[in-house]
Structure 1
Amino acid sequence: MHFPLILVSPARPENIGAAARAMKTMGFSELRIVASDAWRDPAARRVAHGAGEILDHLRTYDTLEAALADIDFSVATTARSRAKFRYYATPQQVETILQEKRHWVKSMALVFGREDSGLTNEELAQVDLLTGIPMAQDYPSLNLGQAVMVYCYQLSVFNQVVADSEPAADGQQLQALRQRFHQLLTRLAVSDDQKMVDWLDQRLGLLEQRDSAMLHRLLHDVEKNLADNYPVEK
């Protein structure tokens, strides 16, 4: 399973080193950095302490969109108060969801935002699922390196257990489903209902393969019915 971790605009080299160390400890090896050169600071390698090869082979990108270009399914970590979306999975739920996803997608990614401001709403809109770490209300944030460690620990099962052999499904199935829904909303003249659009984008990320396939069948029937009974005027 192709499973990189992506850090968006990290500012502190120590956090990058701590993230690399957490990854190495839990069996992850691919790190991607968006819009930051902080990893070049010697402090990153000093804190990485034995995980230098992760820093040696990390890949850099100008934008999150570019970093996700080859990823079939992505999960972003965010503080609930910083996002307009309201559908979150706990780290345990993320593990369950990804366990099912790995049978029919070829690549997944976990995205972490900036230390001070997290991910922007525009960046959050680029991922398939949001997650947050439940914490006490009087201390609502974690250090970036700590957050990476929590998720690496929770998801370390992907580096210890070989997935059962099952027929592979199209890794682009989910994205195609999302595009078809957007086209349907446009056809129905309700695409300006941003609340509905956000709800669909977030909930589709929770679907299992069979559910996704069934929705594709349903959309096919809806699209055919619309074409037969309400043809587009030319």
Structure 2
Amino acid sequence: MRFPLILVSPARAENIGAAARAMKTMGFTELRIVQSQAYLDPAARRVAHGAGEILDNVTHFDSLADALADIDFSVATTARSRAKFRYYATPQQVQGILQEKMQWVNSMALVFGREDSGLTNDELDQVDLLTGIPMANDYPSLNLGQAVMVYCYQLSALRQLTVTPVVPAEQQQLGALRQRVEQLLVQLEVSDDEKLADWLHQRIGLLEQRDSAMLHRLLHDIEKKLIDKNSA
């Protein structure tokens, strides 16, 4: 399974190097970077300390949307204050959620935001699940390299699992479900209810495969009833 880590606009080469080192230590190999050339700075390679091949194979993207284009399920790290109405999973909960998703998606990604400001709300809306590291007291945050290490350590066990390849229909189940929900909100004329739309978006990311399939069936029945009512 493909499982890239994505760094959005990292400013410090040292942080990128530390992230690459953490990745290699825990068995992750693919690094994607959005809107930053800092990984080319010699300081990144110096701090990477033996993880130079990860920096050599970095893929650069112009936007987070481009970096996620071939990803079936994505998780973004953020501070709770940025989460709006979203569900906020701990690293331990993320591990369980992703372990279930591995049974029916072919690719997952973990997204980290800018060192100073994290991810924008628009960027948060592009991912399936939000997570953050619970902090003792009110210390603001870990630095980027430390945060990458925490998640690489927590999720490293997933790299050891053997899963049966999923069929194409199941891979597209979540994306299709999101589209159907968005279209239904428009039909019901409630798409401007930000709290409702945000809640639905984040709950879909938590659905297991069987629940997702059942919700597709329910939406099909609702859509059919709406069509019949409008045709009457």
- What is the TM-score with the length of structure 2 in the denominator? 0.97
Residue 69 of structure 1 is matched in structure 2 by: 69
Question: Does residue 1:100 correspond to 2:106, yes or no?
Answer: no
In structure 1, what is the Cα distance between the partners aligned to 2:85 and 2:41?
35
Question: Does residue 1:49 correspond to 2:49, yes or no?
Answer: yes
Report if aligned partners of 2:106, 2:165 keep a CA contact under 8 Å in 1: no
Report if aligned partners of 2:20, 2:48 keep a CA contact under 8 Å in 1: yes
Residue 188 of structure 1 is matched in structure 2 by: 188
- Identity over aligned pairs, percent: 77
Report if aligned partners of 2:106, 2:166 keep a CA contact under 8 Å in 1: no
Report if aligned partners of 2:10, 2:36 keep a CA contact under 8 Å in 1: yes
Equivalent residues, number: 231
Structure 2: unaligned runs, 5 residues or longer: none
Give 1:84 deviation, angstroms. Answer: 2.1
Give 1:230 deviation, angstroms. Answer: 2.3
In structure 2, what is the Cα distance between the partners aligned to 1:152 and 1:91?
10
Residue 4 of structure 1 is matched in structure 2 by: 4
Which letter does structure 2 place at the counterpart of 1:2?
Answer: R
Which letter does structure 1 place at the counterpart of 2:198?
Answer: D
Residue 229 of structure 1 is matched in structure 2 by: 229
- What is the TM-score with the length of structure 1 in the denominator? 0.96
Give 1:87 deviation, angstroms. Answer: 1.1
Residue 129 of structure 1 is matched in structure 2 by: 129
Residue 21 of structure 1 is matched in structure 2 by: 21
In structure 1, what is the Cα distance between the partners aligned to 2:138 and 2:59?
36
Give 1:166 deviation, angstroms. Answer: 6.5
> Secondary structure of the residue that 2:10 maps to in structure 1?
coil
Structure 1: unaligned runs, 5 residues or longer: none
Give 1:136 deviation, angstroms. Answer: 1.4
Residue 89 of structure 2 is matched in structure 1 by: 89
Give 1:158 deviation, angstroms. Answer: 1.8
Report if aligned partners of 2:86, 2:198 keep a CA contact under 8 Å in 1: no
In structure 1, what is the Cα distance between the partners aligned to 2:214 and 2:84?
29
Q: Which moved further from structure 2: 85-94 or 38-47?
A: 85-94
Give 1:192 deviation, angstroms. Answer: 0.9
In structure 1, what is the Cα distance between the partners aligned to 2:231 and 2:181?
18
Q: Which moved further from structure 2: 136-145 or 183-192?
A: 136-145
> Secondary structure of the residue that 1:155 maps to in structure 2?
helix
Residue 80 of structure 1 is matched in structure 2 by: 80
Give 1:182 deviation, angstroms. Answer: 0.7
Cα-Cα RMSD: 1.2
Give 1:85 deviation, angstroms. Answer: 3.4
Report if aligned partners of 2:17, 2:44 keep a CA contact under 8 Å in 1: yes
Which letter does structure 2 place at the counterpart of 1:63?
Answer: S
Mark the CA change 1:135 to 1:46 in structure 2 (over 3 Å): closer, same or farther.
same
Moved over 4 A (4+): none
Which letter does structure 2 place at the counterpart of 1:91?
Answer: P
Q: Which moved further from structure 2: 165-174 or 180-189?
A: 165-174
Residue 156 of structure 1 is matched in structure 2 by: 156
In structure 1, what is the Cα distance between the partners aligned to 2:46 and 2:12?
13
CA displacement 1:87-143 (0-9 Å, x = unmatched): 111000000000000110010000000000000000000000000100013213001
CA displacement 1:128-179 (0-9 Å, x = unmatched): 000010001321300100000000000001222222x365352111011011
